[in-house]
Amino acid sequence: MIVAFAALSLLASVAKAGDLTVSAAASLSSALKELAPGFEAQHPGTKLLFNFAASDALLAQIAKGAPVDVFASADQDSMDKAQAQKLVLPGSRRDFGRNALVIITPADSPIALRSLADLQKPEFKRVALGKPETVPAGRYAKGALDAAKLWPIIEPKAVFAGNVRQALDYVARGEVEAGFVYATDAAIQRDKVKIAFTVPTGTPIHYTVAVLAEGRDRDTASKFVDYLSAPAGQAVLARFGFQKP
Q: Does 245 reside within a domain?
A: no
Q: Say if residues 233 and 35 touch (Cβ distance below 8 Å).
A: yes
pLDDT value at 186 more than 60: yes
Residue 149 CB: number of other CB atoms within 10 A? 10
What is the model's pTM?
0.89
89 with 126, same domain: the answer is no
61 with 119, same domain: the answer is no
Percent of the chain residues past pLDDT 90, beyond the cut: 92
113 with 189, same domain: the answer is yes
Look up the domain containing 11 and give its range.
2-98+206-239
67 with 137, same domain: the answer is no
Residue 153 CB: number of other CB atoms within 10 A? 13
Identity of residue 196: A
pLDDT value at 14 more than 70: no
Looking at residue 1, its pLDDT comes to: 45
112 with 79, same domain: the answer is no
Residue range 180-186: average pLDDT?
97
Q: Does 244 reside within a domain?
A: no
> What is the chain's mean pLDDT, rounded?
94
- Kindly report the CATH number assigned to the domain that includes residue 22: 3.40.190.10
d(CA 8, CA 124): 37
Q: Does 188 reside within a domain?
A: yes
153 with 193, same domain: the answer is yes
Looking at residue 3, its pLDDT comes to: 44
Domain count, the chain: 2
Q: At 204, phi and psi to the nearest 5?
A: -60, 145
Confidence band for 16, pLDDT divided at 50, 70 and 90: low
131 with 58, same domain: the answer is no
Among candidate residues 147, 244, 152, the one with its CA nearest the CA of residue 203: 147
What per-residue string of b and e applies to 167-201 under the rule 16 or more CB within 10 Å gives b?
A: bbbbbbeeebbbbbbbbbbbbbbeebbbbbeebeb
17 with 75, same domain: the answer is yes
83 with 105, same domain: the answer is no
69 with 131, same domain: the answer is no
Q: Does 28 reside within a domain?
A: yes
* pLDDT tens, position by position, 40-55: 999 999 999 999 999 9
57 with 85, same domain: the answer is yes
- Rounded to 5, what percent of the chain is helix, strand, coil? 45, 25, 30
85 with 109, same domain: the answer is no
Q: Does 181 reside within a domain?
A: yes
Confidence band for 18, pLDDT divided at 50, 70 and 90: confident
